[in-house]
């Protein structure tokens, strides 16, 4: 009976070791990991924009499946719902928008 406990004990030790590795790991979900660590002055502008600018708050969504007409309808309904929520500054959705407002938002 004691012999059958070794695999379970070994498995628990491995699970604990994995938990420690995951807890001590640093995960980054943005593209800044691909940018230079010591950027030039010109590159610093891009690094700042990607990490703190409007690009860091840009959300791209894709709708898959269904027919083309159904996806188009879902896309329009989703955009309308997002605009109505008041949680987004700009919803483009491939539609003609007020370009001056969009340019001001991106440059700010």
Residue 13 has pLDDT above 90, yes or no: yes
Tens of pLDDT along 48-81? 777 777 666 777 888 898 899 999 999 989 888 9
Angle at 106 between CA 88 and CA 62, to 5 degrees: 50
The average confidence (pLDDT) of the chain is: 81
Judged against a pLDDT cut of 90, whether residue 102 lies above it is answered with no
Cα-trace Rg, the chain: 24
Q: How far apart are CA 59 and CA 17, in angstroms?
A: 36
- Residue with the two structure tokens 């700010």: 108
pTM here is: 0.46
pLDDT at residue 50, as a whole number: 74
52 burial level (CB within 10 Å; 0-12, 13-18, 19+): exposed
Residue 105's pLDDT is 64
């Amino acid at each position: 009976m004691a012999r059958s406990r070794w695999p379970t004990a070994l498995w628990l030790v491995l699970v604990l070791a994995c938990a420690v590795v995951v807890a001590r790991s640093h995960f980054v979900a943005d593209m800044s990991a691909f940018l230079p660590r010591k950027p030039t002055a010109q590159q610093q502008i891009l690094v700042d924009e990607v990490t703190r600018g409007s690009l860091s708050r840009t959300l791209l969504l894709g709708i898959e499946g269904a027919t083309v007409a159904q996806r188009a309808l879902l896309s329009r309904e989703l955009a309308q719902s997002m605009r109505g929520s008041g949680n987004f500054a700009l919803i483009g959705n491939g539609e003609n928008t007020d370009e001056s407002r969009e340019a001001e938002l991106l440059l700010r």
